[in-house]
């Protein structure tokens, strides 16, 4: 098997957390082979670890994801929304550093062959600061104190006849006491404990006793109506605050709703989206406990195959054909066998990922008896928790899409695989998400590939000893019910949730 490489980018989105919503970490990756070829349009499985301390640290959180690469080999998940028994909200992000370890099985199973470990260089939430926490630079507004200059004035026997007002940088004494000479000044400084509080005579004076020396030179930029600095116009931005502290830990109020891709969302916007989703789920009769299954699909625990699902009416169906191998022999339909067997779609193994296997009815029933009830109760070769539908359940399905005469286009999917005809020309083609594909059948040769989608049921017609099946043709909107297929014919299998 070729070695695989992965190019991964972790994207942390800024979210405001309210009520029960939990922020997540967006993760995108491009998967390539070792020779640089993209792995496109493939179901993959992924396991994500959050490690504490270092790249080999203890795991504080583990979850599993099921995703699909697109035509460019790209897939996306949200870390924090995968299948897990751990508590995402219990992680204390302040006790970092943390590392993200990812393991990927590019074949959609549990054989993880691609491992990547990266340090998380920032807390994975966008939060906000209640205060800027930083004063503007005012170094240009405040000067250092300059001590008075007394020259030789304080030297005994040689002090000149200076007037006190002629000394520069004197203490701010509004009225010079007349008896200064009476103070003892043996420590070479003047004691001012009894001097009354200063009253400046003129802030703008440039000479004389009313002059204020060493005052700030850029006061005009401040509001100074009471004689000292009282306010400053804040020019700091949120980005400035976040850059200095690398974190904002408070709420911002009265935000506008987002308009661009990287805008933060508001609570009102999130509430409106939640209400919209609730209305959609209600209209589709989707229960809250069904949402993870419908959004993420499921993995067959027997072999690790991932399947998309769709809810139509009150039923939940697999939206892909079964690909289970088990111990069912692989036998070409050109040489049909009267024992349980499976076959590649149209005899070509490369079609398997798209179309699933063809099975004869013996393999499908897996030793169980036929059933015409709704639900059938026949698991057959379906995964645990799923069963083979009866004709009654197929009827319930196409009645939910308008009835047997018109349901064909609704149930069909992937127009490029079908021959052109009434089915693909319908404006309702593919609208249900059931995604029936024109695999045809195999018995002695491969028939109707590109023309018909055929599916087994759990019913058996005792009148002609043939099982019941349904068929969707490219040239008709009608869903056909048929008993013309022998139990040895190989056709597709869809399972319905218990």
Query: Residue 378's pLDDT is what?
Result: 97
pLDDT in tens, 116-163: 899 987 655 443 333 334 445 555 555 555 555 555 555 445 555 556
Residues of the chain with pLDDT under 50: 1-5, 7-20, 125-135, 155-156, 195-197
Query: Residue 115's pLDDT is what?
Result: 87
Query: Residue 469's pLDDT is what?
Result: 95
Query: Residue 343's pLDDT is what?
Result: 94
pLDDT in tens, 375-384: 999 999 999 9
Contact 101, 115 (CB under 8 A): yes
Structural domains of the chain sorted by starting position, each given as residue range(s) with its CATH number in brackets: 4-120 (2.60.40), 135-235 (no CATH), 290-497 (no CATH)
Query: Residue 51's pLDDT is what?
Result: 94
User: What residues have CB less than 8 Å from 355, skipping those under 6 apart?
Assistant: 321, 345, 346, 437, 439, 492
Query: Residue 95's pLDDT is what?
Result: 84
Query: Residue 125's pLDDT is what?
Result: 43
């Amino acid at each position: 098997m070729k070695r695989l490489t992965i190019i991964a980018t972790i994207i942390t989105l800024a979210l405001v957390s309210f009520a029960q919503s939990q922020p997540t970490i967006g993760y995108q990756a491009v998967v390539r082979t070792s020779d640089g070829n993209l792995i496109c349009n493939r179901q993959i499985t992924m396991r994500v670890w959050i490690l504490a301390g270092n790249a080999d640290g203890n795991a504080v959180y583990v979850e599993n994801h099921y995703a699909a690469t697109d035509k460019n080999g790209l897939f996306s998940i949200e870390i924090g929304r995968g299948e897990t028994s751990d508590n995402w909200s219990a992680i204390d992000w302040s006790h970092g550093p943390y590392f993200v370890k990812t393991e990927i099985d590019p074949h959609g199973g549990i054989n993880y062959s691609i491992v990547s470990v990266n340090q998380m260089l920032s807390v994975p939430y966008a939060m906000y600061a209640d205060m800027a926490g930083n004063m503007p630079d005012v170094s240009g507004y405040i000067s250092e104190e300059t001590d008075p200059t007394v020259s030789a004035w304080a030297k005994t026997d040689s002090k000149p006849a200076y007037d006190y007002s002629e000394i520069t940088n004197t203490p701010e004494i509004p009225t010079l006491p007349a008896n200064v000479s009476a103070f003892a000044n043996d420590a070479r400084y003047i004691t001012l404990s009894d001097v009354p509080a200063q009253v400046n005579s003129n802030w703008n004076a440039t000479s004389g006793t009313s002059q204020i020396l060493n005052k700030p030179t850029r006061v005009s930029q401040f509001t100074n109506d009471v004689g000292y600095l009282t306010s400053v116009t804040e020019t700091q931005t949120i980005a400035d605050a976040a850059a200095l502290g690398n974190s904002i830990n408070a709420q911002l109020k009265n935000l506008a709703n987002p308009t661009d891709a990287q805008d933060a969302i508001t609570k009102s916007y999130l509430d409106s989206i939640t209400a919209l989703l609730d209305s959609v789920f209600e209209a589709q009769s989707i229960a809250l406990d069904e949402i993870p299954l419908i959004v993420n699909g499921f993995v067959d625990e027997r072999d690790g195959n991932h399947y998309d699902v769709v809810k139509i009416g009150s039923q939940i169906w697999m939206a892909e054909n079964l690909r289970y191998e088990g111990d069912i022999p692989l036998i070409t339909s050109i040489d049909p066998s009267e024992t349980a067997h499976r076959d590649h779609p149209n005899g070509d193994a490369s079609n398997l990922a798209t179309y699933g296997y063809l099975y004869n009815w013996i393999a499908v029933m897996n030793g169980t008896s036929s059933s015409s009830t709704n639900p059938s109760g026949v698991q057959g070769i379906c995964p645990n928790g799923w069963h083979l539908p009866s004709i009654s359940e197929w009827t319930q399905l196409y009645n939910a899409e308008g009835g047997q005469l018109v349901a064909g286009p609704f149930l069909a999917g992937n127009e490029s695989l079908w021959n052109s005809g009434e089915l693909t020309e319908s404006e309702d083609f593919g609208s249900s998400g059931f995604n029936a594909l024109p695999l045809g059948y195999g018995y002695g040769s491969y028939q109707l590939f590109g023309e018909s989608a055929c599916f087994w049921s759990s019913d058996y017609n005792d009148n002609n000893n043939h099982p019941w099946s349904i068929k969707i043709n490219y040239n008709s909107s009608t869903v056909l019910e048929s008993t013309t297929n022998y139990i040895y014919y190989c056709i597709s299998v869809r399972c319905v949730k218990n």
